[in-house]
Amino acid sequence: MGLVVQKYGGSSVADAEGIKRVAKRIVDAKKNGHQVVVVVSAMGDTTDELIDLAGQVSPIPAGREFDMLLTAGERISMALLAMAIKNLGHAAQSFTGSQAGVITDSVHNKARIIDVTPGRIRTSIDEGNIAIVAGFQGVSQEGKNITTLGRGGSDTTAVALAAALDAEVCEIYTDVDGVFTADPRVVKKARKIEWISFEDMLELASSGSKVLLHRCVEYARRYNIPIHVRSSFSDCRARGSATNRKGTARWSRPSSPVSRTTRPRPRSRSWASRTSRARPRRSSGRSPTPRSTSTWSCRTCRPPRRA
């Protein structure tokens, strides 16, 4: 089976019960035959609490020390998650960003990834372990100082590792069931988008969507990494939103063996072929009108109108 990179946000590992639930989901993926690499964020509001604490000590904390402080949250999560997985009878090893080979520039608090050299991660999973990586952090190429990637940095870490390890898919687990036309916690009639292109997802991210941040999507588009967005609180069989290697998205069932049916479709089966089937031409020769579907209910995700 293929290699899967899973990322779990702070809400998914906010407490001990959440960590146990996530550990069980990870073990299920391992039992299905996958090699599993997990990227984890800090528990709950830990990062915000550390920021507040730093402000009480120093009104303008030094960038290097501030990064050293903030990375503590992800290190706590990765260690606890590795313990929970071992308690379920499976081998797991935790790694900091620097141990995972995430190399960045020297800008503190908002560093950019320059390279990923996941030699220790590859060795660990080849030995049968589940690798748990602390997200949001790396090590500078010059000076070898600890750096952080800014808000949403754990998503970017997951996509970067997926690219470096040539993973089948990068699964982003959060507290919503996918990408919606609006925040489903605020707008009750928000509809889930099952198919979306990288370009449209970038536009949503630029417009304020918090499901996937801009840098994460840009990295995935650059290296053609499929992203699946799902909820860690729903049933494993629940559908989510995803992008595939050709820049369009679809849903699939998490923790299921990767087969030919979940591989990216050839280009001829992407937007062009789907829109030609879904938008039949009228005999009058007028411009066709798309069917009303939940996927196209968002203007951003509507296929381009034909000339």
* Average model confidence (pLDDT) across the chain: 79
- How many residues appear in the chain? 307
Tens-digit pLDDT profile for residues 244-257: 554 444 433 333 33
Q: How does residue 41 score in pLDDT terms, banded at 50, 70 and 90?
A: very high
Q: Give the tokens for residue 79.
A: 């260690």
Q: Determine the pLDDT at residue 241.
A: 56
Q: Which percentage of the chain shows pLDDT scores above 70?
A: 76
Nearest to 74 by CA among 92, 96, 91, 93: 96
Q: Determine the pLDDT at residue 246.
A: 47
Architecture of the domain delimited by 3-262+285-301: 3-Layer(aba) Sandwich (3.40)
Strand partners, 146: 139
Q: Give the residue carrying structure tokens 């073990």.
A: 27
pTM score, two decimals?
A: 0.75
Tens-digit pLDDT profile for residues 218-236: 888 899 888 988 887 776 5
Q: Give the residue carrying structure tokens 């120093």.
A: 58
d(CA 152, CA 141): 21
The answer to which of 25-29, 154-158, 207-211, 279-283 has the lowest mean pLDDT is 279-283
Sheet with 146-148, side-by-side order of all strands: 113-116, 102-104, 137-140, 146-148
Q: Give the list of residues 6+ apart from residue 15 with CB closer than 8 angstroms, or none.
A: 43, 44
d(CA 213, CA 194): 18
